[in-house]
Amino acid sequence: MDAAATTTPAVLILLGPPGAGKGTQARMLEDQFGLVQLSTGDLLREAVAAGTEAGLAAKAVMEAGELVSDEIVIAILRDRMAQPDCAKGVILDGFPRTTVQAEALDGLLASAGQKISAAISLEVQDAEMVIRISGRYTCAGCGEGYHDQFKQPAEEGKCDKCGHTEFKRRADDNAETVASRLAAYHAQTAPLIDYYRTQGVLKGIDAMGQIDDIAIDLQGLVREVMN
């Protein structure tokens, strides 16, 4: 029984609003544990480019200007998780977003003899997130990231990395838009939090500290789950 359990691929779900650091932490988990980060957007693009059956179905829907159905997304996810590089497990980023999708994912996993290892919520403070995201900007030359409060160039108006003097901000990185995105996230995700709490797989991580400190806590949690 124990030997079989150790060979079952881990399935981790990262929950958290925009700017919580899901992508950064997922990449670090990939390196640490040999897992594969699966983002819905990337999966759709890859499936369309590969011309798979599900990818062609998704392409037709997107070209018609419609939203890709949960059934198509699940089919694409099933195909991707069956590939050899996912043997140790996957990190799902951006899916599921609703309890209906969560139930469909449970069905997919059950058919493969798998289940959710942990749904990890990166917990943040909304007011601080508004400051964190709305203050971001990047060098227009090399893409180096800066922040109005937390990381300004050593020499004002000049990139530390490449010396470029032009910077840019994302149009949606303003306080009003960020607050709206956070509210939408909470409204959409609250039922999902409850869903995984009821299943007993919900874990919480304080994601307001330093990236490396968050990574240590997160990796410790994942290590426990995978063992």
Phi, psi of 225 (to 5 degrees): -65, -40
- Complete DSSP assignment for 77-105: HHHHHTSGGGSSEEEEES---SHHHHHHH
Catalytic residue list contains 115: no
Q: Which residues, other chains included, contact 165 with Cβ-Cβ below 8 Å and sequence gap of 6+?
A: 157, 158, 159
Q: Which residues, other chains included, contact 11 with Cβ-Cβ below 8 Å and sequence gap of 6+?
A: 89, 90, 92, 109, 114, 115, 116, 117
**22, 59, 80, 132: the active-site residue:** 22
Catalytic residue list contains 97: yes
Catalytic residue list contains 136: yes
**78, 88, 97, 169: the active-site residue:** 97
Catalytic residue list contains 181: yes
With 0-12 / 13-18 / 19 or more C-beta atoms within 10 angstroms meaning exposed / middle / buried, residue 86 is middle
Residues 103, 104, 107, 113: is their CA dihedral positive or negative? negative
Phi-psi sector, 163: left (phi>0), alpha (psi -120 to 50), beta: left
**27, 151, 161, 170: the active-site residue:** 170
**78, 88, 136, 197: the active-site residue:** 136
Which of 121, 124, 126, 123 minimizes the C-alpha distance to 175? 126
Question: What positions carry a catalytic annotation?
Answer: 22, 97, 136, 170, 181
